[in-house]
Structures are given as C-alpha cells and as structure tokens.
Amino acid sequence: MEDVYTLGLDIGAAAAKCVLLKNGAELIASAVVPSGVRSSGAKKAAAAVLESAKISRDMVACVTATGYGRNIYGDADLTLSELSCHALGAYSELESVKTVIDIGGQDVKAIRVGKNGTPENFVMNDKCAAGTGRFLEVMARILELEVSELEKVGEKAKNPVMISSTCTVFAESEVISRLAADTDISDIVAGIHNSVAVKAAGLARMLKVEEPVVMTGGVAKNGGVVKAVERELGVKIHIPPFPQLNGAYGAAVHAWRNVKKR
Ligand code: ADP
C-alpha cells in the first residue's frame, strides 16, 4: 500500500506549529514558527516541514488546521477545534489518557478525554494572561531571561517567593519590587512557576482530575511548571515527546482518520 502523508497545523497566539505524519503515526517532520501576522507563521511552518521532508503539497492527502488562526489559513482541507486536536494528540501518544492540561501562549485548558480521543468535557481560561505562557514571557523579560532558561534557573531555588497578585500587571510590579530588594533570581523564578501551576491546577480541579494526566502546550517544555502542577494536584504528569506540537499532531491524526474514511 502506498504511504499516506497528512499535515496538521496548529496556529496559536504565540506560535504556529506544523507536523507531517506518515500513515497517521510516524512523525516525519515538524516546525515551530512565531505566528506573525495573520497566516504568515503558519505558511512558513508548513513550507519548512514540506521542504525538510522533501514532499510537495500535492503529495499530502489531507491538511487539518486548528488553533485560533485556523479559519484564516487558506490552504487547509479541514478545520477542527483546539480542544479536539489536543485530546486526539494526547490520546495518540497515550491511549489511556483521561485528562489533558494544555498551557499555551494565551490560554489554559483542562480537557476530559473520552472514547477514541474525543473531548468529553472541558474548562478554559482565555480571559486573563495569569497562568499562561504569556505570563512566563512577561516575567522572563523583566528578569532578562529566555522562557527556555526559566526551568534551569528555578531549579536552584531555596526559598521560592510567594507571588500574591492574581493579575499579570500587578505580579510584574511584585517581581520588580523583589528584584529591588535583591531577592535571589532562582527564588523569584520558582515563585513564578508556582503561580502558573496554582492557576492551572485550580482550573483542572474544576473538571475533577482523573489519571492518567497529560500536559501539553509550550509551557509543558518547562519542567519547573510541570513539577509545580504535579505538587499542586498530587498526581504524576505525562509529557508527550513534543508537547508544543501536540495540537498539530492531533490535527494530522484527524486528517489521517478522514483519509481512511474516504
Ligand atoms: P499557543 O498555541 O497559544 O501559540 P504554545 O502552546 O505554542 O501557545 O505555547 C507558547 C508558550 O510556551 C510561550 O508563551 C512560552 O511561555 C512557552 N514556551 C515556548 N517555548 C518554550 C521553551 N523552549 N521552554 C519553555 N517554555 C517555552
């Protein structure tokens, strides 16, 4: 039988993610590109993936787009909600998954996963930057760090500070005051991780957390936040090999399922 290629695109607020799958399971190529204006990041991500796999667009049997930018991306055969793609992506990695906690650039979701990787229920915070990747970006900037450096810095904490503000803007002032008081950066970073974790865990509890729990989204690349969420919820959290690609992976699996139905 001929190989079937499908493409999944997750066009998020912060980054456009693209995954190319062979026969619905084998990850051939992937890309993460800043979202840019309208579909510019998504187009770049798709082009980069096709180029690195040496596959032309007409060799791709189906493209599914998800994420907040899915409806303005012009080159998708199908679109699917982020909730469905994240549930399906996590299910494709761990079939027994019951709960997905996705922390992205501008929202946090907790999803109950049902049969065949379909979402059964969900709760979401997309009203406020606190507890999202954006919060970490803002804090990293004040500390003159990259988001990718936060985990390592936070690991050295001895007395994590308590960030009491629930608002990103006020929390920013709190961190600036801590810096002025010469508080150790690692303790500040660990406090920032805890602050994100408390919000995500609070949201997930509204859904009643059932194990196994999978964490996805760009923030799952930060082990400091993952450990803090584990502590808050008292559960072990599974991280897929490429957590930021999870939505795009689910989209590519959805495209594959549609090709199989034809
Ligand atoms: P969206 O789908 O909303 O665009 P993502 O799931 O791509 O969001 O997550 C983006 C967030 O992931 C960023 O705001 C940042 O906090 C975090 N992030 C991105 N890359 C890394 C990294 N290398 N290490 C730690 N955190 C990261």
pLDDT band at 22 (very low <50, low <70, confident <90, very high): very high
Distance, CA of 9 to CA of 20 (rounded, Å): 9
**C-alpha of residue 259 to centroid of ligand 1, in Å:** 30
Residue 228: its pLDDT value, please?
98
To test the ligand 1 pocket, which listed residue (40, 244, 246, 249) has its Cβ within 8 A of the most ligand atoms?
A: 244
Ligand 1 proximal residues by C-beta, below 6 Å: 12-15, 67, 104-106, 133-134, 136-137, 147-148, 217-219, 221-222, 244
Distance, CA of 58 to CA of 56 (rounded, Å): 5
What is the average per-residue pLDDT within 222-233? 98
Residue 166: its pLDDT value, please?
82
Contact 132, 103 (CB under 8 A): yes
pLDDT band at 126 (very low <50, low <70, confident <90, very high): confident
Closest CA to ligand 1's atom 26: 219
Residue 204: its pLDDT value, please?
96
Q: Where is average pLDDT lowest: 6-10, 71-75, 77-81, 242-246? A: 71-75
Longest dimension (CA), the chain: 66
pLDDT reading at 123 higher than 90: yes
To test the ligand 1 pocket, which listed residue (106, 219, 226) has its Cβ within 8 A of the most ligand atoms?
A: 219
> Token pair of 77, please?
């055969």
Residue 38: its pLDDT value, please?
86
Cross-strand pairs, 8: 19, 64
Q: pLDDT over 90 for what percent of the chain?
A: 90
pLDDT band at 14 (very low <50, low <70, confident <90, very high): confident
Relative orientation angle of helices 246-261 and 82-93, to the nearest 10 degrees: 90
Relative orientation angle of helices 185-205 and 223-233, to the nearest 10 degrees: 50
Residue 217: its pLDDT value, please?
96
pTM summary value? 0.95
pLDDT reading at 1 higher than 80: no
pLDDT band at 117 (very low <50, low <70, confident <90, very high): very high
Closest CA to ligand 1's atom 20: 218
Closest CA to ligand 1's atom 22: 148
3-state secondary structure 156-171: CCCCCCCCCCCCHHHH
Distance, CA of 223 to CA of 206 (rounded, Å): 23
What is the average per-residue pLDDT within 29-56? 95
**C-alpha of residue 204 to centroid of ligand 1, in Å:** 19
Which is the closest atom of ligand 1 to the Cα of 243? 6
User: What are the tens digits of pLDDT across the range 161-214?
Assistant: 999 888 888 899 999 999 999 999 999 999 999 999 999 999 999 998 999 999
Is the peptide bond preceding residue 212 cis, with omega within 30 degrees of 0?
Answer: yes
Which is the closest atom of ligand 1 to the Cα of 150? 25
User: What are the tens digits of pLDDT across the range 67-79?
Assistant: 999 999 989 999 9
